[in-house]
Chains A and B, each alone.
Chain A
């Protein structure tokens, strides 16, 4: 019984890593730019699809495919920001939301045309033989997912906390006008942030695709769940997105394991609805930190 529970927790952590990576990107873009990116789930899936192209169709090794796909997705993020979001910087939030909804519809259906509806395997080269840790078992690809996610999250944290561009990001986040007045190029910081968010979503998609399969049908649910995580953690909160992601992964895994798998996807929404009723600022309540 205890071992089963621990196994579910371990599985929940793996799922939580996927959620956390997608949600960190979403929350950074929201916190900095006030943009809700409805295409985040599509970026996630596109990452997986490109990893499929790289490993299966082009025959690249997995370790080379990951940086290649991430680089492409970085450029995709820059282009999307430049073409679609930059002209909408002063527009109403609803208009920007409509633009990202349009982008999400376009990306999803275009991917459907290009890749077809059937799920794709990513060749990670990991053996499917599980590793036993005590009584728990974990596959190599899942272990890899956890390691890479932790590394990515620490890297992003250091980027924001320690580097020049990270400091500029925080300055823009807290007090945009002052940031402009000391010469921080706000537009370029936005583009950087959006590209970072896009790349993190794609990384999550690659990792998930290597553990399970990359599938277009997950795009919409991924976006919605990432929102769930962002609301759980508090909009714009980096730490909140990570904790919220892990929390959602754990709750889903335990619920699916002990209660019912049918309603597994509902549980996150139920959490969010309850949370919004009692703590509308999220668990971490970072939204207040934003000054106008």
Chain B
């Protein structure tokens, strides 16, 4: 975590907190709410992909678990939405613990495939377990949050700006968690895991426990994101488990720069804005995404943030422009 990045994160949060005071356009507010939502998701995925170095394709499962937990708890059991968010996070973390215990013993390709299989299984269960999940119909009219003290309603979330600040608050919590994670001794552990499992073992770090902890934290954050999504969109169906959320998150992490704190935020901003403002080219949007993902992976493996850092270093003469290896 370098100074450039810390400043970038603080700048991002400060601008985000002030923006609604200047821009009152409702669509802009909505776009930014979605950007924050995606930023939480991308940051949570980045923990496993960027810091542990294992590609999880099952991360949408935690989003889905969070969203469904919130939908069921608030519509069927009347739990207040603001309480749902952390509870949904915890439930997703629990699922993360179970799935992680099973899957993280596997490495590389096996891990990629098995996490994908888990998400698929959950999607199929949600589709078929109609008594609990209402099947393909899903849940609609999920109530919005309410913040009241002593019977006095402070916020009823009837306006988008209130959602905006709620999303920003969850994002701030997420960034806080990721920063703590990145700066604590865990980072040493997790990065060691990414670089070399055997080396990690040799210096007394248990790569499995590191990876598991990281995985569970990621699941918790994704679960909160799912819960927020349920209350903001007010509808949840099986598609929250689907591959398109997964792809979007992955794109954001890859484009922004994996293994950094600022990268996923940048990725969420760039792609989130493009997603919402380019609705009119909806049909070709995903085709373009596919190509973009390929190009970024092949030619910009460090993501946008890598580009920034690289240019700075190049100015300072640290990086020689080396030929692309075969």
Consider the complex of A and B and state whether they touch directly, i.e. have CB atoms less than 8 Å apart.
yes
Q: Which residues of chain A have a CB within 8 Å of any CB of chain B? A: 30, 36, 84, 87-90, 93-95, 97-99, 101-110, 112-113, 220-221, 224, 227-228, 231, 235, 262-263, 265-266, 269-270, 272-273, 276-277, 280
Interface string of B118-129 (1 = CB under 8 A from A): 101100110010
* Residues B291-307 near A (CB distance < 8 A): 291-294, 297-298, 301
Smallest Cβ-Cβ distance to A34: which chain B residue: B109
Contact A266 B124, beta carbon cutoff 8 Å: yes
Task: Tell me, yes or no, whether B112 is within 8 Å of chain A by CB.
Answer: yes
A108 to B242, CA, bound (A): 14
Q: B102, B109, B114: which contacts A36 (Cβ < 8 A)? A: B109
The answer to the question of B12 belonging to the interface, with a C-beta cut-off of 8 Å to chain A, is: no
For B325, the chain A residues whose CB sits under 8 A away are: 90
Cα–Cα distance between A98 and B252 once the two chains are bound (Å):
12
In the complex with contacts A88-B298, A102-B297, A113-B110 CB distance below 8 A: no
In the assembly, what is the distance between CA of A276 and CA of B106, in Å? 9
Q: Is the CB of B291 within 8 A of A36?
A: no
CA distance A30 to B113 in the complex (A): 13
Chain B residues with CB under 8 Å of A273's CB are 102, 114, 117-118, 121
**Given known contacts A262-B128, A273-B117, A280-B106, A113 and B294 CB-to-CB distance under 8 angstroms:** no
Residues of B contacting A106 in the complex (Cβ-Cβ under 8 angstroms)? 287, 289-291, 294
Write 7 A-B pairs (CB below 8 A) sorted by A numbering.
A36-B112, A99-B298, A102-B289, A112-B283, A113-B284, A224-B120, A262-B128
Residue of A nearest to B246 (CB): A101
Interface contact A36-B53, CB-CB below 8 Å: no
Are B108 and A270 interface neighbours, CB within 8 A?
Answer: no
Check A231–B326 contact: CB distance below 8 A: no
For the complex formed, measure the closest distance between the CB of B246 and the CB atoms of chain A, giving whole angstroms: 9
Q: Which of B226-283 contact A (CB under 8 A)?
A: 243, 247, 250, 254, 283
Given contacts A109-B287, A269-B121, 11 further A-B contacts (CB under 8 A): A36-B113, A84-B294, A93-B108, A101-B247, A102-B291, A102-B292, A103-B290, A106-B287, A106-B294, A224-B113, A227-B116
B286 lies within 8 A of chain A by Cβ: yes
Given A99-B298, A269-B117, A273-B102; A105-B290 close (CB under 8 Å): yes
Tell me whether A266 and B121 are in contact in the complex, defined as CB-CB below 8 angstroms, given that A101-B250, A103-B294, A273-B102 are known contacts: yes
Residues of B within 8 A of A266 (CB): 121, 124-125
Q: Quick check: B114 and A276 within 8 Å, CB to CB?
A: yes
In the complex, what distance in Å separates the CA atom of A231 from the CA atom of B298?
28
Closest Cβ of chain A to B70, distance in Å, is 24
A97 touches which one: B105, B112, B124, B247 (CB < 8 A)?
Answer: B112
A95 x B297 contact (CB < 8 A): yes
What is the CA–CA distance of A280 and B105 in the complex, to the nearest angstrom? 10
**Taking the complex as formed, is B212 at the interface, i.e. its CB lies under 8 A from any CB of chain A?**
no
B residues sitting closer than 8 Å to A (CB atoms) are 49, 53, 55, 102, 105-106, 108-110, 112-114, 116-118, 120-121, 124-125, 128, 243, 247, 250, 254, 283-287, 289-294, 297-298, 301, 325-326
Chain B: CB-nearest residue to A263: B128
Q: Which of A93, A95, A105, A107 lies in contact with B301, CB distance below 8 A?
A: A95
Which of the residues B109, B284, B297 comes within 8 Å of A98, measured between beta carbons?
Answer: B297
| Chain A neighbourhood of B291, CB < 8 A | 102, 106
Residue of A nearest to B247 (CB): A105
CB proximity of B137 to chain A, nearest CB, Å: 15
Kindly provide the distance from the CB of B67 to the nearest chain A CB, expressed in whole angstroms.
20
Report the bound CA distance from A231 to B286 in whole Å.
29
In this complex, the member of B114, B290, B326 whose beta carbon has the largest number of chain A beta carbons within 10 angstroms is: B290
Q: Are B326 and A89 in contact (CB under 8 A)?
A: yes
Majority secondary structure of chain A interface residues (helix, strand, loop or mixed): helix
Least CB distance, B34 to chain A, in whole angstroms = 20
Q: How far is the CA of A112 from the CA of B298 in the complex (A)?
A: 25
A235 near B109: Cβ-Cβ < 8 Å: yes
Tell me, rounded to whole Å, the shortest Cβ–Cβ distance linking A288 to chain B.
14
Closest to B293 in A: A102
> Do A269 and B120 form a contact, CB below 8 Å, given A36-B109, A95-B301, A262-B128?
yes
Chain A to chain B: the 10 pairs with minimum beta-carbon distance, closest first: A106-B290, A102-B293, A105-B290, A102-B294, A109-B286, A262-B128, A98-B297, A109-B287, A269-B117, A227-B113
B116 surroundings in chain A (CB, below 8 A):
224, 227
Question: B114 contacts A272, CB within 8 Å?
Answer: yes
Chain B residues lying within 8 Å of A98, measured Cβ to Cβ, are 55, 250, 254, 293-294, 297
Question: Which of A87, A112, A228 contacts B117 (CB under 8 A)?
Answer: A228
Closest Cβ–Cβ distance, residue B303 to chain A (whole Å): 11
Instruction: A113 to B114: give the CA distance in the assembly, Å.
Output: 30
Q: For residue B254, which residues in chain A have a CB less than 8 angstroms away from its CB?
A: 98
Give the contacting residue for A87; candidates B250, B283, B292, B298; CB below 8 A. Answer: B298
CB closest chain-A residue, reference B117: A269
Distance, CA A111 to CA B272, complexed state (A): 24
Q: Are B113 and A231 in contact (CB under 8 A)?
A: yes
Tell me whether B286 and A105 are in contact (CB under 8 A): yes
Contact between chains at A94 and B120 (CB < 8 Å): no
Chain A residue at smallest Cβ distance from B124:
A266
CA–CA, A101 and B108, complex, Å: 15
Contact A105 B113 (CB under 8 A): no
- Most chain A CB within 10 A, of B110, B243, B254, is at B110
- Inter-chain CA distance A93–B107, complex, in Å, is 11
Q: With the chains together, A100 CA to B325 CA distance in Å?
A: 20
